Structure 1
Amino acid sequence: MPSLRQFATPITIGAFLLSAVTGVLMFFHFDTALNKPAHEWLSWALVLGVGLHLAVNFRAFRTYLKRPLARGVIAGFVLVLAASFLPLAGGAGGSPVKAVMQGLAEAPVARIIALSQDDPAMVHDRLAAAGYEMAPGQTLSSLSGGDRAAEAVILKAIFAP
Protein backbone atom coordinates (compact mmCIF):
# COMPACT_ATOMS: atom_id res chain seq x y z
CA MET A 1 0.00 0.00 0.00
CA PRO A 2 1.38 3.45 -0.92
CA SER A 3 2.54 5.66 1.93
CA LEU A 4 1.29 9.13 2.74
CA ARG A 5 4.68 10.46 1.62
CA GLN A 6 4.03 9.15 -1.92
CA PHE A 7 0.83 11.22 -2.17
CA ALA A 8 1.74 14.46 -0.35
CA THR A 9 4.11 15.98 -2.89
CA PRO A 10 2.23 15.03 -6.10
CA ILE A 11 -1.05 16.36 -4.65
CA THR A 12 0.70 19.60 -3.63
CA ILE A 13 2.36 20.02 -7.04
CA GLY A 14 -0.78 19.20 -9.04
CA ALA A 15 -3.04 21.40 -6.93
CA PHE A 16 -0.52 24.25 -7.03
CA LEU A 17 -0.38 24.00 -10.82
CA LEU A 18 -4.18 24.14 -11.07
CA SER A 19 -4.46 27.01 -8.60
CA ALA A 20 -1.62 29.01 -10.16
CA VAL A 21 -2.82 28.69 -13.75
CA THR A 22 -6.48 29.45 -12.98
CA GLY A 23 -5.43 32.31 -10.68
CA VAL A 24 -3.28 33.90 -13.39
CA LEU A 25 -6.07 33.48 -15.95
CA MET A 26 -8.54 35.15 -13.58
CA PHE A 27 -6.08 37.97 -12.82
CA PHE A 28 -5.77 38.82 -16.52
CA HIS A 29 -9.50 38.21 -17.15
CA PHE A 30 -8.78 35.31 -19.51
CA ASP A 31 -10.70 32.78 -17.43
CA THR A 32 -13.47 30.89 -19.13
CA ALA A 33 -16.19 28.43 -18.24
CA LEU A 34 -15.06 26.47 -15.20
CA ASN A 35 -11.79 28.27 -14.39
CA LYS A 36 -13.20 30.30 -11.49
CA PRO A 37 -15.15 27.44 -9.83
CA ALA A 38 -12.17 25.13 -10.35
CA HIS A 39 -9.88 27.70 -8.74
CA GLU A 40 -12.20 28.27 -5.78
CA TRP A 41 -13.19 24.67 -5.09
CA LEU A 42 -10.16 22.67 -6.18
CA SER A 43 -7.82 24.95 -4.24
CA TRP A 44 -8.96 22.85 -1.29
CA ALA A 45 -6.75 20.15 -2.82
CA LEU A 46 -3.82 22.55 -2.38
CA VAL A 47 -4.74 23.01 1.28
CA LEU A 48 -4.92 19.23 1.65
CA GLY A 49 -1.63 18.67 -0.18
CA VAL A 50 0.21 21.28 1.88
CA GLY A 51 -1.27 19.84 5.07
CA LEU A 52 -0.14 16.33 4.11
CA HIS A 53 3.26 17.63 3.06
CA LEU A 54 3.69 19.40 6.41
CA ALA A 55 2.59 16.31 8.32
CA VAL A 56 5.06 14.09 6.48
CA ASN A 57 7.92 16.61 6.78
CA PHE A 58 7.10 18.15 10.17
CA ARG A 59 10.55 17.64 11.72
CA ALA A 60 12.28 19.28 8.76
CA PHE A 61 9.71 22.11 8.80
CA ARG A 62 10.37 22.80 12.52
CA THR A 63 14.11 22.90 11.83
CA TYR A 64 13.56 25.21 8.87
CA LEU A 65 11.59 27.66 11.06
CA LYS A 66 14.67 28.16 13.23
CA ARG A 67 16.23 30.16 10.40
CA PRO A 68 15.70 33.94 10.79
CA LEU A 69 15.25 34.54 7.05
CA ALA A 70 12.54 31.86 6.82
CA ARG A 71 10.71 33.29 9.84
CA GLY A 72 10.99 36.79 8.39
CA VAL A 73 9.59 35.83 4.98
CA ILE A 74 6.70 33.89 6.55
CA ALA A 75 6.00 36.77 8.97
CA GLY A 76 5.90 39.17 6.00
CA PHE A 77 3.24 37.06 4.31
CA VAL A 78 1.28 36.81 7.56
CA LEU A 79 1.30 40.63 7.77
CA VAL A 80 0.12 40.95 4.15
CA LEU A 81 -2.65 38.45 4.91
CA ALA A 82 -3.70 40.42 7.99
CA ALA A 83 -3.67 43.68 6.00
CA SER A 84 -5.89 42.12 3.33
CA PHE A 85 -8.73 42.05 5.85
CA LEU A 86 -8.57 45.81 6.49
CA PRO A 87 -11.10 48.02 4.67
CA LEU A 88 -9.72 50.31 1.99
CA ALA A 89 -9.79 54.04 2.70
CA GLY A 90 -12.95 55.65 1.38
CA GLY A 91 -14.38 52.30 0.38
CA ALA A 92 -12.58 52.51 -2.97
CA GLY A 93 -11.91 49.32 -4.83
CA GLY A 94 -15.12 47.56 -3.91
CA SER A 95 -17.43 45.99 -6.41
CA PRO A 96 -19.76 48.49 -8.08
CA VAL A 97 -22.33 45.68 -8.34
CA LYS A 98 -22.64 45.67 -4.55
CA ALA A 99 -23.32 49.42 -4.51
CA VAL A 100 -25.89 49.09 -7.32
CA MET A 101 -27.67 46.23 -5.56
CA GLN A 102 -27.80 48.19 -2.29
CA GLY A 103 -29.23 51.17 -4.17
CA LEU A 104 -31.84 48.99 -5.87
CA ALA A 105 -32.79 47.36 -2.57
CA GLU A 106 -33.71 50.74 -1.09
CA ALA A 107 -35.43 52.07 -4.21
CA PRO A 108 -39.20 52.01 -4.60
CA VAL A 109 -40.22 49.08 -6.81
CA ALA A 110 -42.26 51.44 -9.02
CA ARG A 111 -39.05 53.32 -9.84
CA ILE A 112 -37.28 50.05 -10.73
CA ILE A 113 -40.23 49.07 -12.93
CA ALA A 114 -39.86 52.41 -14.75
CA LEU A 115 -36.24 51.46 -15.51
CA SER A 116 -37.43 48.31 -17.27
CA GLN A 117 -39.30 50.44 -19.84
CA ASP A 118 -42.02 47.76 -19.84
CA ASP A 119 -45.71 48.35 -19.40
CA PRO A 120 -46.18 48.62 -15.59
CA ALA A 121 -49.33 46.48 -15.74
CA MET A 122 -47.40 43.66 -17.46
CA VAL A 123 -44.63 43.88 -14.86
CA HIS A 124 -47.22 43.80 -12.03
CA ASP A 125 -48.66 40.64 -13.62
CA ARG A 126 -45.20 39.04 -13.78
CA LEU A 127 -44.58 39.96 -10.14
CA ALA A 128 -47.93 38.51 -9.12
CA ALA A 129 -47.13 35.33 -11.06
CA ALA A 130 -43.86 35.14 -9.09
CA GLY A 131 -45.84 35.52 -5.86
CA TYR A 132 -45.16 39.19 -5.08
CA GLU A 133 -47.88 41.81 -4.60
CA MET A 134 -46.40 45.26 -4.11
CA ALA A 135 -47.87 48.18 -2.21
CA PRO A 136 -47.44 51.79 -3.43
CA GLY A 137 -44.03 53.18 -2.45
CA GLN A 138 -42.76 49.77 -1.33
CA THR A 139 -39.01 49.22 -1.69
CA LEU A 140 -37.41 46.15 -3.19
CA SER A 141 -35.98 45.29 0.23
CA SER A 142 -39.36 45.42 1.96
CA LEU A 143 -41.06 43.47 -0.84
CA SER A 144 -38.44 40.73 -0.60
CA GLY A 145 -38.38 40.74 3.19
CA GLY A 146 -34.66 41.51 2.99
CA ASP A 147 -33.95 38.17 1.29
CA ARG A 148 -31.28 38.58 -1.41
CA ALA A 149 -32.47 35.51 -3.33
CA ALA A 150 -36.02 36.92 -3.35
CA GLU A 151 -34.65 40.27 -4.58
CA ALA A 152 -33.06 38.43 -7.51
CA VAL A 153 -36.39 36.71 -8.32
CA ILE A 154 -38.21 40.04 -8.19
CA LEU A 155 -35.63 41.77 -10.41
CA LYS A 156 -35.80 38.88 -12.87
CA ALA A 157 -39.59 39.27 -13.01
CA ILE A 158 -39.27 43.04 -13.52
CA PHE A 159 -36.65 42.82 -16.26
CA ALA A 160 -37.93 39.64 -17.94
CA PRO A 161 -37.79 39.83 -21.75
Structure 2
Amino acid sequence: MSIKREWTTPITAGSFLLLAVTGVFMFFHAAPGLAKEAHEWVSWIFLAAAAFHLAVNFAAFKKYLTERKGQVLVGAFALILLVSFAPVGGSGEPPFVAPLRALGKAPLTTLAQVAQTSPEQMIAQLKQEGLAVQSAQQSLSELVGDDLHKQTRFLKMLLDK
Protein backbone atom coordinates (compact mmCIF):
# COMPACT_ATOMS: atom_id res chain seq x y z
CA MET A 1 0.00 0.00 0.00
CA SER A 2 1.28 3.42 -0.96
CA ILE A 3 0.53 6.43 1.22
CA LYS A 4 -0.28 9.44 -0.94
CA ARG A 5 0.59 13.03 -0.01
CA GLU A 6 -2.48 14.28 -1.87
CA TRP A 7 -4.57 12.51 0.81
CA THR A 8 -2.48 12.86 3.96
CA THR A 9 -1.68 16.57 3.65
CA PRO A 10 -5.28 17.85 3.14
CA ILE A 11 -6.66 15.52 5.83
CA THR A 12 -3.93 16.65 8.24
CA ALA A 13 -4.55 20.32 7.39
CA GLY A 14 -8.34 20.04 7.57
CA SER A 15 -8.38 18.16 10.86
CA PHE A 16 -5.80 20.60 12.28
CA LEU A 17 -8.06 23.53 11.31
CA LEU A 18 -11.05 21.93 13.06
CA LEU A 19 -8.98 21.12 16.18
CA ALA A 20 -7.47 24.62 16.31
CA VAL A 21 -10.84 26.39 16.10
CA THR A 22 -12.68 24.07 18.50
CA GLY A 23 -9.69 24.13 20.86
CA VAL A 24 -9.81 27.93 21.08
CA PHE A 25 -13.55 27.80 21.83
CA MET A 26 -12.94 25.15 24.49
CA PHE A 27 -10.14 27.20 26.04
CA PHE A 28 -12.63 30.03 26.63
CA HIS A 29 -15.35 27.57 27.81
CA ALA A 30 -17.54 28.73 24.92
CA ALA A 31 -17.67 25.64 22.70
CA PRO A 32 -20.96 25.78 20.76
CA GLY A 33 -23.06 22.77 19.76
CA LEU A 34 -21.00 19.66 19.17
CA ALA A 35 -17.62 21.45 19.13
CA LYS A 36 -16.25 19.53 22.13
CA GLU A 37 -17.32 16.17 20.70
CA ALA A 38 -15.95 17.07 17.26
CA HIS A 39 -12.67 18.11 18.89
CA GLU A 40 -12.37 14.83 20.78
CA TRP A 41 -13.27 12.55 17.87
CA VAL A 42 -11.52 14.39 15.05
CA SER A 43 -8.33 14.31 17.12
CA TRP A 44 -8.15 10.58 16.25
CA ILE A 45 -8.35 11.43 12.55
CA PHE A 46 -5.70 14.10 13.01
CA LEU A 47 -3.47 11.64 14.85
CA ALA A 48 -3.75 9.05 12.07
CA ALA A 49 -3.32 11.66 9.31
CA ALA A 50 -0.27 13.13 11.06
CA ALA A 51 1.26 9.64 11.42
CA PHE A 52 0.72 8.96 7.69
CA HIS A 53 2.02 12.44 6.84
CA LEU A 54 5.11 11.73 8.94
CA ALA A 55 5.59 8.38 7.20
CA VAL A 56 5.39 10.02 3.76
CA ASN A 57 7.81 12.77 4.79
CA PHE A 58 10.05 10.72 7.08
CA ALA A 59 13.29 11.58 5.25
CA ALA A 60 12.69 15.31 5.75
CA PHE A 61 11.69 14.73 9.39
CA LYS A 62 14.91 12.79 10.05
CA LYS A 63 16.87 15.66 8.50
CA TYR A 64 15.22 18.16 10.89
CA LEU A 65 16.19 16.00 13.84
CA THR A 66 19.85 16.06 12.85
CA GLU A 67 19.88 19.86 13.14
CA ARG A 68 20.15 21.58 16.52
CA LYS A 69 17.08 23.77 16.00
CA GLY A 70 14.89 20.73 15.22
CA GLN A 71 16.21 18.85 18.24
CA VAL A 72 15.58 21.81 20.56
CA LEU A 73 12.04 22.42 19.26
CA VAL A 74 10.96 18.76 19.39
CA GLY A 75 12.68 18.40 22.77
CA ALA A 76 10.89 21.48 24.14
CA PHE A 77 7.49 20.07 23.19
CA ALA A 78 8.42 16.68 24.61
CA LEU A 79 9.33 18.44 27.87
CA ILE A 80 6.05 20.38 27.88
CA LEU A 81 4.20 17.09 27.35
CA LEU A 82 6.06 15.51 30.26
CA VAL A 83 5.38 18.47 32.57
CA SER A 84 1.68 18.49 31.59
CA PHE A 85 1.25 15.16 33.39
CA ALA A 86 2.72 16.45 36.65
CA PRO A 87 0.20 16.83 39.47
CA VAL A 88 -0.52 20.43 40.43
CA GLY A 89 -2.46 22.03 43.25
CA GLY A 90 -6.22 22.24 43.08
CA SER A 91 -8.71 19.80 41.70
CA GLY A 92 -7.82 20.35 38.05
CA GLU A 93 -11.50 21.00 37.35
CA PRO A 94 -12.80 24.06 35.53
CA PRO A 95 -13.82 26.87 37.91
CA PHE A 96 -17.56 26.44 37.25
CA VAL A 97 -17.62 22.89 38.66
CA ALA A 98 -17.52 23.92 42.36
CA PRO A 99 -20.71 26.02 42.15
CA LEU A 100 -22.45 23.23 40.21
CA ARG A 101 -21.49 20.73 42.91
CA ALA A 102 -22.79 23.12 45.60
CA LEU A 103 -26.13 23.49 43.79
CA GLY A 104 -26.32 19.71 43.43
CA LYS A 105 -25.93 19.29 47.19
CA ALA A 106 -28.37 22.07 48.12
CA PRO A 107 -31.82 21.07 49.39
CA LEU A 108 -34.64 21.35 46.86
CA THR A 109 -36.09 24.22 48.92
CA THR A 110 -32.94 26.23 48.20
CA LEU A 111 -32.98 25.29 44.52
CA ALA A 112 -36.61 26.37 44.32
CA GLN A 113 -35.60 29.81 45.61
CA VAL A 114 -32.83 30.03 43.02
CA ALA A 115 -35.26 28.95 40.27
CA GLN A 116 -37.88 31.39 41.61
CA THR A 117 -40.50 28.68 41.96
CA SER A 118 -42.11 26.82 44.84
CA PRO A 119 -40.63 23.62 46.26
CA GLU A 120 -43.92 21.87 45.43
CA GLN A 121 -43.69 22.84 41.75
CA MET A 122 -40.06 21.74 41.63
CA ILE A 123 -40.87 18.41 43.23
CA ALA A 124 -43.70 17.88 40.75
CA GLN A 125 -41.34 18.64 37.87
CA LEU A 126 -38.75 16.16 39.18
CA LYS A 127 -41.39 13.48 39.69
CA GLN A 128 -42.51 14.00 36.08
CA GLU A 129 -38.92 13.21 35.10
CA GLY A 130 -39.14 9.92 36.98
CA LEU A 131 -37.30 10.85 40.17
CA ALA A 132 -38.57 9.46 43.47
CA VAL A 133 -38.64 12.67 45.51
CA GLN A 134 -39.72 12.11 49.09
CA SER A 135 -38.85 15.41 50.73
CA ALA A 136 -38.08 19.02 49.83
CA GLN A 137 -34.96 18.63 51.97
CA GLN A 138 -33.42 16.15 49.52
CA SER A 139 -30.76 17.33 47.08
CA LEU A 140 -30.22 16.53 43.42
CA SER A 141 -27.12 14.55 44.34
CA GLU A 142 -29.27 12.41 46.63
CA LEU A 143 -31.83 11.92 43.88
CA VAL A 144 -29.57 11.25 40.87
CA GLY A 145 -26.22 10.35 42.46
CA ASP A 146 -22.85 12.06 42.26
CA ASP A 147 -22.74 12.14 38.43
CA LEU A 148 -22.20 15.84 37.73
CA HIS A 149 -23.48 15.50 34.15
CA LYS A 150 -26.82 14.13 35.39
CA GLN A 151 -27.06 16.81 38.06
CA THR A 152 -26.29 19.52 35.50
CA ARG A 153 -28.94 18.18 33.12
CA PHE A 154 -31.55 18.40 35.89
CA LEU A 155 -30.30 21.81 37.05
CA LYS A 156 -30.67 23.12 33.51
CA MET A 157 -34.19 21.71 33.27
CA LEU A 158 -35.18 23.23 36.63
CA LEU A 159 -33.62 26.64 35.99
CA ASP A 160 -34.74 27.07 32.36
CA LYS A 161 -37.80 29.27 32.14
Q: TM-score, normalised by structure 2?
A: 0.72
Contact 1:130/1:157 (8 A) holds in 2: no
Distance in structure 1 (CA, Å) of the matches to 2:117 and 2:16? 49
Match of 1:57 in 2: 57
CA RMSD of aligned residues (A): 3.4
Contact 1:127/1:157 (8 A) holds in 2: no
1:80 and 2:95 aligned: no
Could you tell me which amino acid in structure 2 is paired with residue 75 of structure 1? G
1:17/1:141 CA distance change after superposition, 3 Å? closer
Distance in structure 1 (CA, Å) of the matches to 2:45 and 2:8? 11
Compute the displacement of 1:51 (Å): 0.5
Match of 1:109 in 2: 108
Contact 1:130/1:154 (8 A) holds in 2: no
Q: TM-score, normalised by structure 1?
A: 0.72
Residues 132-143 of structure 1 mapped to structure 2, 5 A cutoff = 132=131, 133-135=133-135, 137-143=137-143
Contact 2:141/2:151 (8 A) holds in 1: yes
Compute the displacement of 1:31 (Å): 7.1
Residues 1-161 of structure 1 mapped to structure 2, 5 A cutoff = 3-6=2-5, 7-23=7-23, 37-86=37-86, 89=89, 91=90, 95-132=94-131, 133-135=133-135, 137-161=137-161
Contact 1:22/1:31 (8 A) holds in 2: yes
Question: What 5-or-longer segments of structure 1 have no aligned partner?
Answer: none
1:29/1:94 CA distance change after superposition, 3 Å? closer
Distance in structure 2 (CA, Å) of the matches to 1:150 and 1:23? 25
Question: What 5-or-longer segments of structure 2 have no aligned partner?
Answer: none
Distance in structure 2 (CA, Å) of the matches to 1:158 and 1:31? 23
Number of residue pairs the alignment of both structures matches: 159
Contact 2:108/2:122 (8 A) holds in 1: no
Compute the displacement of 1:152 (Å): 3.2
1:92/1:129 CA distance change after superposition, 3 Å? closer
